[in-house]
Chains A and B, each alone.
Chain A
Amino acid sequence: MVICALTTLPCLANNAAPDALDALKSMSFEELMNVEVTSVSRTEEALRDAAAAVAVVTRDTIRRSGATTIPDALRLVPGLHVGAQTSSTWAVSARGFSNVNSEKLLVLSDTRSIYTPLVSGVFWDLQDYLLEDLERIEVIRGPGAALWGSNAVNGVINITTRSARDTHGFYAQGSVGSFDRASVALRYGAETDGGVHYRIFGKYFDRDETDHPSVTEDDAWHLAHLGFRTDWDGNSRDSFTVQGDAYTGTEGQLVPAITVIGRPGPTGPLESDMSGGNLLARWRRTYDESSDLQLRAYYDYTDRDDPSFKDTLHTFDLDFQRRFTALSRHEILWGAAYRVTQNRNEPGVIWALEPEDSTDQLFSGFIQDQIRFSNVRLTLGTKLEHNDFSGFEVQPSVRVAWLPRDEHTLWSAVSRAVRVPTRFERDVRIDASDPAGNPVIRLVGNEDFESEELIAYEAGYRWQPLDTLSLDLALFYNDYDKLAAVELGTPFLDPDTGQTVIPVESQNMMHGHTAGAELQVEWQPVEGWRLSANYSYIDMDLTPEGLDINRNERLEGSTPRNLAGLRSLLSLGQRFELDAQLRYQSRILTTPLTLAGEGVDAYTELDLRVGWRASDQWMFSLMGQNLLHDEHPEFGPLDSRGNLERAVYLKAEWRL
């Protein structure tokens, strides 16, 4: 199934040493049957055949990137822009609209949506993992709404953790550094007599503040995290997974999350306390290679105590999927899901939502048919959903892949996707002038605000001339309509206060298009040396239709037009690794209506890592980050961003 196919994408280039092959050859059949394998073939096939722009960050690549957070691990994905604003805030976006909310990107953690309905986007500061236990991160650029539903507009990120089957034994790690000041983690995994594989882990990290000469606040960040996962094969057909996390952390902010010009915001230390947890259960029944079903449920809780507001969110989600083959050519995948979110947002100094409490439901279903005609794969699919914000949404897609020869894949797709309204757009109530004044300018929610719409046209070409060389090119033209703009509403008299209210609200008053290209080349010149290069370009052209005349320039300007990256992973024998990542971001423009100096100059940065496998038990790595500059900014307005400094850390890992 495409979900499965795409969520079982590969560990690339798993080069077992010749002695590993010899060991396999000398095994008895009983022993061979007990060897666990990584499912590279099916997944590499899925990656090669996919009629979409897909990139996979494998566990090995994450480890060798030296990243300590998910956004940092995404930095060298082609077409993805990652810009740090503070220690714990990033803009992560695909195909434009760079923004710290990542509002047009759907992010799933083991199929659990971590997209918040409050402001549309992802609170990256809550997305903590023991990176050692990640299986891979898949990034699909372009719409994935036909399968994954609303908000999968410009991309989908699937974060997948490893099966507990793969994480037996003790694992401990500790690091000290200049920016990532300290981290410790401990994990234990085993199998019970009943055949249940499990792991439990705990992790704590503490990150320093960025350098921010013009701001007095402190944006240091620390977080503690406990988690577990169990995997059990009840019998040859059924497998069960139960997993969960609990975390609590504190981060500083450089400016209040919500500010209004002319009104004093919260005072005192601008610290946010965050906590939360989740529990997920999944049952999968496999009938044969092309037929299975899956039932999955999760509950997620997050609590954010911010100086600007206090927000709690409960999410319950139930999802069913069935895949089977029909008439030999058709692989059918269909599913149905229900989600309910219960959100309470208590007002702060400036910010308020009306009502404070909101319970919203989402009903959805999808069907996809993948049809195979010799070397052509046609995938037709649509999602149909009903949500409490915008009602019914239909998000179809047509994808076709043509494999004229083994090493060539040409694909093309047309899809529709929407970004549904958020609580902020529907329920906000913020006085933007003196609340006691008359008239009063008030930011209000707009019940009539509709979904932002996208029709995306995509095409791509993959070529693998050699086993060790591959090229992946994707082109897109995105046509957006009904984009959000902030507009003046019709003034009215507030019967409670007698004030004349001049409403300012979100309206669907902008349209436009983006066009661009993304290229990735991967090459393994010799065993043990992997090179990867990528370049992406985007042109955004948005047209406001109302009074919010600068919004287009702000969105266009905040997106770097050119991104490039180069990665080298070099293994020196069995014991040493020498890894380098070079990345380039073109400039972010200073735009009208914002503080002078908001722009960010183009920059090139280098990260270097040395890894040393001292023994079976011990591994050490020394990481240098942002080595080319003493410090520089990556993203965000001057008054709320920090500069990333040159940093080093030393990490020790131990396993038994």
Chain B
Amino acid sequence: MAPLTRIRRWLAVAAACLAALSAPAAWPAPPPTEYQVKAAYLFNFGRFVEWPAAAYGSPAAPFVIGILGEDPFGALIDEVVRGESLNGHPLAVKRFGKLEEVTACNILFIARSEAPRLEQLLQSMRGRPVLTVTDFDGAEGRAAIIVLINENNRIRMRINVPEARANDLVISSKLLRPAELVGNEKG
């Protein structure tokens, strides 16, 4: 049973403790979410992959990160590209509902919702200067150029170099070194 007098005593202790302590800085931030890290990957791909000049309509054309299907990033990816540019190309995000809507883009992130149509999508991107990225594996080993894999809550990369070459993309060794390489040709 707790009479009010006792409550008052604790309030006094509380006030004393609060007054005695003060310091700046924040409490440890929560770990980032899966898609925050994946967004950072997408952003960094732009810096370590070389696109042919033909990938841009004009020298000032934006560098476009396209997202096809059910967007898992939300406002996050917009936050990532805001105010950024790559070699003079301002970064932009475009969202596409289906394949037919896909317009020029440098990176195309294919969301899980498109898994059933993955093979057809990859087929139509083949030979175009587009870096396809997924975070799932398609049927029968069909996969995008870069697959982001969540393994025990850490995101690693798997890169198919021959497929990248087929799309006229040159991937920096900085990106290849930590990645798992697949395709007939090793790096």
- Which residues on A are within 8 Å of B, measured CB to CB? 11, 14, 16-18, 20-21, 24-25, 27-30, 32-42, 60, 165-166, 176-179, 208-209, 211, 233, 236, 239, 286, 288-289, 328, 374, 406, 467, 574-575, 612-616, 618-620, 622, 645-650, 652, 655
Stretch touching chain A among B38-46, B57-65, B160-168? B38-46
List B contacts of A176 (CB < 8 A).
10, 13
B181 interface hit (Cβ, 8 Å):
no
Given contacts A33-B156, A176-B13, A647-B2, 20 further A-B contacts (CB under 8 A): A16-B33, A17-B29, A24-B36, A27-B40, A27-B44, A29-B157, A29-B174, A29-B175, A33-B154, A33-B178, A35-B154, A37-B33, A38-B30, A41-B72, A60-B30, A289-B137, A574-B27, A615-B21, A616-B27, A649-B10
**Which chain B residue has the least Cβ–Cβ distance from A651?**
B14
Q: Decide: B18 and A616 in contact? CB cutoff 8 A.
A: no
List which B18-35 residues lie within 8 A (CB) of chain A. 18, 21-35
How many Å lie between the Cα of A314 and that of B181 in the bound state? 51
**Which chain A residue has the least Cβ–Cβ distance from B6?**
A178
B124 interface hit (Cβ, 8 Å):
no
Neighbour of A41 across the interface among B13, B29, B33, CB < 8 A: B33
Neighbour of A233 across the interface among B33, B152, B155, CB < 8 A: B152
- One digit per residue, 1 when the CB lies within 8 angstroms of any chain A CB and 0 when it does not, for chain B 134-173 equals 0011010000000001111111110000000000000000
List B contacts of A18 (CB < 8 A).
79
With A289-B136, A614-B22 already in contact, the answer to whether A24 and B33 are too (CB < 8 A) is no
Neighbour of A619 across the interface among B27, B35, B152, CB < 8 A: B27
Number of chain B residues close to chain A: CB under 8 A: 58
How many Å lie between the Cα of A620 and that of B70 in the bound state? 41
Most buried by A among B36, B44, B151, B174: B36
Q: Decide: B32 and A35 in contact? CB cutoff 8 A.
A: yes
Tell me the minimal C-beta distance from A217 to chain B in angstroms.
13
Tell me the minimal C-beta distance from B155 to chain A in angstroms.
6
Neighbour of A211 across the interface among B1, B137, B139, CB < 8 A: B1
List A contacts of B72 (CB < 8 A).
41
Tell me the minimal C-beta distance from B128 to chain A in angstroms.
24
Tell me the minimal C-beta distance from A632 to chain B in angstroms.
14
B122 interface hit (Cβ, 8 Å):
no
Neighbour of B31 across the interface among A36, A289, A647, CB < 8 A: A36
List A contacts of B33 (CB < 8 A).
14, 16, 37-38, 40-41
With A29-B178, A179-B2 already in contact, the answer to whether A618 and B137 are too (CB < 8 A) is no
A-B contact pairs, 19 of them (CB 8 A): A21-B39, A21-B76, A25-B40, A27-B44, A29-B174, A32-B44, A35-B32, A37-B37, A37-B154, A39-B150, A40-B33, A41-B72, A166-B31, A211-B1, A233-B152, A406-B70, A575-B26, A612-B18, A648-B11
Q: Decide: A620 and B1 in contact? CB cutoff 8 A.
A: no
Most buried by A among B27, B41, B139, B152: B27
How many Å lie between the Cα of A575 and that of B174 in the bound state? 39
List B contacts of A622 (CB < 8 A).
14
Neighbour of A39 across the interface among B11, B34, B156, CB < 8 A: B34
Neighbour of B30 across the interface among A11, A288, A650, A655, CB < 8 A: A11
**Which chain B residue has the least Cβ–Cβ distance from A239?**
B152
Q: Decide: A648 and B10 in contact? CB cutoff 8 A.
A: yes
Q: Decide: B155 and A37 in contact? CB cutoff 8 A.
A: yes
With A24-B37, A25-B40, A33-B155 already in contact, the answer to whether A615 and B24 are too (CB < 8 A) is yes
Q: Decide: B36 and A178 in contact? CB cutoff 8 A.
A: no
Secondary structure type dominating chain A contacts: mixed
How many Å lie between the Cα of A233 and that of B153 in the bound state? 12
B53 interface hit (Cβ, 8 Å):
no
How many Å lie between the Cα of A447 and that of B114 in the bound state? 56
Q: Decide: A620 and B17 in contact? CB cutoff 8 A.
A: yes
How many Å lie between the Cα of A346 and that of B76 in the bound state? 61
Tell me the minimal C-beta distance from A611 to chain B in angstroms.
9
Q: Decide: B154 and A38 in contact? CB cutoff 8 A.
A: no
List B contacts of A41 (CB < 8 A).
33-35, 72
With A16-B33, A33-B157, A39-B34 already in contact, the answer to whether A655 and B23 are too (CB < 8 A) is no
**Which chain B residue has the least Cβ–Cβ distance from A650?**
B14
List A contacts of B25 (CB < 8 A).
615-616
List B contacts of A612 (CB < 8 A).
18
**Which chain A residue has the least Cβ–Cβ distance from B27?**
A613
List A contacts of B75 (CB < 8 A).
467
Most buried by B among A33, A166, A208, A575: A33
How many Å lie between the Cα of A323 and that of B74 in the bound state? 30
B54 interface hit (Cβ, 8 Å):
no
B121 interface hit (Cβ, 8 Å):
no
List A contacts of B177 (CB < 8 A).
29-30
Tell me the minimal C-beta distance from B50 to chain A in angstroms.
16
B179 interface hit (Cβ, 8 Å):
yes
How many Å lie between the Cα of A209 and that of B28 in the bound state? 36
Q: Decide: A16 and B17 in contact? CB cutoff 8 A.
A: no
Tell me the minimal C-beta distance from A408 to chain B in angstroms.
13
Q: Decide: A21 and B2 in contact? CB cutoff 8 A.
A: no
Tell me the minimal C-beta distance from A47 to chain B in angstroms.
14
Tell me the minimal C-beta distance from B1 to chain A in angstroms.
5
Q: Decide: B10 and A178 in contact? CB cutoff 8 A.
A: yes
List A contacts of B1 (CB < 8 A).
208-209, 211, 645
Neighbour of A32 across the interface among B150, B152, B155, CB < 8 A: B155
How many Å lie between the Cα of A11 and that of B24 in the bound state? 27
Most buried by A among B32, B136, B151, B153: B32
List B contacts of A32 (CB < 8 A).
37, 40-41, 44, 155
